[in-house]
Structure 1
């Protein structure tokens, strides 16, 4: 596939995901390198939705270590249970945070971040990393994002 995306902005968020996910699938199809795929997924999500930050943290030596991302510079290492990413890793569950200033222990990698969604990447019940997206707007993320970003995670896990 050509490395171009058809970005749609006029439809609903759900329709945007429905257009983007098959393109992501085609983009990573046939590529076995995880880092290359995570990089392209980050770029595709950033290009479609224009979030402040989107990327991945991968579990290495008992920490989450920064992986491919799009956006401003980020925290390099996160301990289990720390911040939204660390909690998602520790609890193996998705967190949707409408206002990061109200999340106990939030790690402010960027002062511009106002809301966040973090989904664990689970393979055989083990968290191998997290997908993290931050927005400069409050309450940017919801169940629609969780539903479709979970589908993105399933593409990675396949």
Structure 2
């Protein structure tokens, strides 16, 4: 595993950068299935690797709502109802949400007023949603199809590496 305490320069090309992120994530998760450490290290890695982001974290589906999980960034909303905000919409629809401008998103929940765009990807285990990956940016239009592709692979790695029974 590479030394994450050293400054790592990520390629400007998003596809190349995500390839490096995927390799690093696989190394971080190797021989570890415990959910909290894996999500903690994953959020730290993504916050370090993704430029122009101000919040990277996870919400876990618990008691029919989203509950704040490991994250990097400012303090965040603890409870999000299913169907509310970008995260709740991702769960209700079962689909990733790439939001160009959060202020134009109906029912957006503003945990951090600096956030301008957002991407949320549902995480599945045994055919059901167990969590979401949520990333915010202070830049309008920060996330695109390349981010969706790269972060969907991050989610796939987490889906297959973590023990989701712990949610």
The answer, yes or no, to whether TM exceeds 0.5 is yes
Is the 1:121–1:153 Cα contact (8 Å) retained in structure 2?
Answer: yes
- C-alpha distance in 2 between matches for 1:20 and 1:156: 13
- C-alpha distance in 2 between matches for 1:140 and 1:89: 22
User: Cα deviation per residue 1:87-136 (whole Å; 9 max; x = unaligned)?
Assistant: 00111100000000000000000000000000000122210010000000
Structure 1, unpaired ranges of 5+:
none
- C-alpha distance in 1 between matches for 2:149 and 2:125: 18
For 1:110, what is the secondary structure of its paired residue? coil
Aligned to 1:105: 107
Q: Are residue 84 (structure 1) and residue 86 (structure 2) matched?
A: yes
Residue 3 (structure 1) shift: 5.0
Greater relative CO, 1 or 2 (CA 8 Å, sep 6+): 2
| CA shift in 2, pair 1:154/1:6, >3 Å | farther
Instruction: Please give the TM-score of this superposition, normalised by the length of structure 1.
Output: 0.95
Residue 9 (structure 1) shift: 3.6
CA-based RMSD of the aligned residues comes to 1.3
- C-alpha distance in 2 between matches for 1:155 and 1:6: 24
Q: How many residues align?
A: 158
For 2:111, what is the secondary structure of its paired residue? coil
Instruction: Please give the TM-score of this superposition, normalised by the length of structure 2.
Output: 0.90
Structure 2, unpaired ranges of 5+:
161-167
